[in-house]
Amino acid sequence: MTKRKTLLAIGAPLLVLWLFLGLRREKIEEPVATAAGTPEAAAGANLPAQPRIAGASGAVAAPVDAELVAHLRSRYGANIGNSYVQIKLIEALMRHFQKHDPLHWQQALLAAVRAAFPDRHDEIAKNLERRLAYERWLEENRARLDGLEPAERRAVIRQERNRLFGEEAADEIWASEQKNQAVAETLAEIDGQQGKSLGDKLATYTERLEDIYEDKYDSYLENHRHEVMNRFLALESVQAELDAMSAEARAESLREIRKGMGLDEAALGRWDALDHDRDARWEAGKKYMAERTALVEAYSGKELEQKLAELRRRYFGDEAEVIAAEEESGFFRFARPRRWGQN
């Protein structure tokens, strides 16, 4: 057999084997469609990646997965005419397709929009352009924005949003942010008020919240009651006033604050019990820290460790090891400031 025929005889089986392995590898690496558990996941990493098919002008998106379309309609369909909802849809699909199809993500995104919401395709496509333009503007102006005072920066950003999206749409898209900012400004104003009682501050706070959230105030309070209450209690002026009260007056004031947040009697009773437990715990913590300081001054080495372990067990029982681990890391929970109604 000639040398050429020998090579061909050996090469042909190798070529077949190489092709077979290559096909097997493609089969193994092909993405598998998985069911998404939440509406947000419909535009996230758990969705099947869009396959590509070759066309005359290069790769184009294959027909949009029916499961994706169903999820988009379920998650966004009821309010798809709202600009905020459209932007949330766009951002969710951007995250999904930029991960699964980085070269053609925009085409794939718009194909998914057309399949799910054909009547809104052009409108959402325009909002995609605006969203990308806004992202570019933020990046190009980052240094300038960082150099502005907070209020001035917010004004410049809002002006650009209005220019790109229109004032009405911009208000829809960033309504939540604007409301949060209004609440933050209200809290700062209340904290700086001189000569106002705790009751007056609470009344101002709840009235402003009603003005900010209007007909959605009740549902907002229902869904964010703990956060709304904590933001008020976190004010330094509120903490200072509570700290200056007797234990009885402080307990009554905390109850009135919570009542003003709409808590019922059952919930108020649970908070009263929690405050009582916290007071007892902090009293024990104060005594523990005093005794601990005395031990540290009097002993050292293993003897000190043994006495501290005994002290922790006496005050904290089963939680003694947790306290020991905290102290070993440098954290002393009872050396922190007491935040009335919060810890």
The residue length of the chain stands at 343
Q: Is the predicted pLDDT of residue 294 greater than 60, yes or no?
A: yes
pLDDT attached to residue 62? 59
Residue with tokens 């309504």: 175
Tens digits of per-residue pLDDT, 85-121? 999 999 999 999 999 889 999 999 999 999 999 999 9
pLDDT attached to residue 333? 95
Q: Are 296 and 304 in contact, with CB atoms under 8 Å apart?
A: yes
Residues 33-42 have a mean pLDDT of 35
Nearest C-alpha neighbor of 291 from the set 279, 301, 299, 280: 299
CA angle 209, 214, 220 (to 5 degrees): 65
Q: Which amino acid is at 309?
A: A
pLDDT attached to residue 101? 87
Q: Which amino acid is at 182?
A: A
72 burial (CB, 10 Å; 0-12 / 13-18 / 19+) is buried
Nearest C-alpha neighbor of 196 from the set 160, 241, 147, 143: 241
* Sign of torsion over alpha carbons 125, 131, 137, 139: negative
In angstroms, the CA 147 to CA 166 distance is 26
pTM of the model: 0.71
Tens digits of per-residue pLDDT, 157-185? 999 999 999 999 999 999 999 999 999 99
CA atoms within a 13 Å half-sphere pointing along the CA-CB vector of 222:
5
Q: What is the DSSP letter of 104?
A: T
In angstroms, the CA 308 to CA 302 distance is 10
In angstroms, the CA 81 to CA 291 distance is 65
Residues 240-262 have a mean pLDDT of 96
Tens digits of per-residue pLDDT, 42-95? 333 344 444 443 333 344 545 788 999 999 999 999 999 999 999 999 999 999
In angstroms, the CA 253 to CA 230 distance is 14
Q: What are phi and psi of 341, to 5 degrees?
A: 80, 0
Q: Are 193 and 300 in contact, with CB atoms under 8 Å apart?
A: no
Domain chopping of the chain, boundaries:
33-50+58-173, 176-263, 278-335
The share of the chain scoring above pLDDT 90, in percent, equals: 79
Q: Is the predicted pLDDT of residue 25 greater than 70, yes or no?
A: no
In angstroms, the CA 172 to CA 161 distance is 11
Q: What are phi and psi of 60, to 5 degrees?
A: -135, 160
In angstroms, the CA 177 to CA 43 distance is 23
Tens digits of per-residue pLDDT, 301-335? 999 999 999 999 999 999 999 999 999 999 999 99
CB atoms within 10 A of CB 198: 17
pLDDT attached to residue 308? 97
Q: For the chain, how far is it from start to end, CA to CA, in angstroms?
A: 91
pLDDT attached to residue 41? 36
* Helix/strand/coil for 3: helix
Q: Are 311 and 289 in contact, with CB atoms under 8 Å apart?
A: no
Residues 271-283 have a mean pLDDT of 96
Mean pLDDT of the residues in the chain = 85
pLDDT attached to residue 72? 96
Query: What is the chain's Cα-based Rg?
Result: 31
In angstroms, the CA 71 to CA 259 distance is 41
pLDDT attached to residue 64? 84
pLDDT attached to residue 342? 96
* Sign of torsion over alpha carbons 37, 39, 44, 47: positive
- CB proximity list for 326: less than 8 A, separation 6 or greater: 332, 333
Nearest C-alpha neighbor of 95 from the set 169, 41, 36: 41
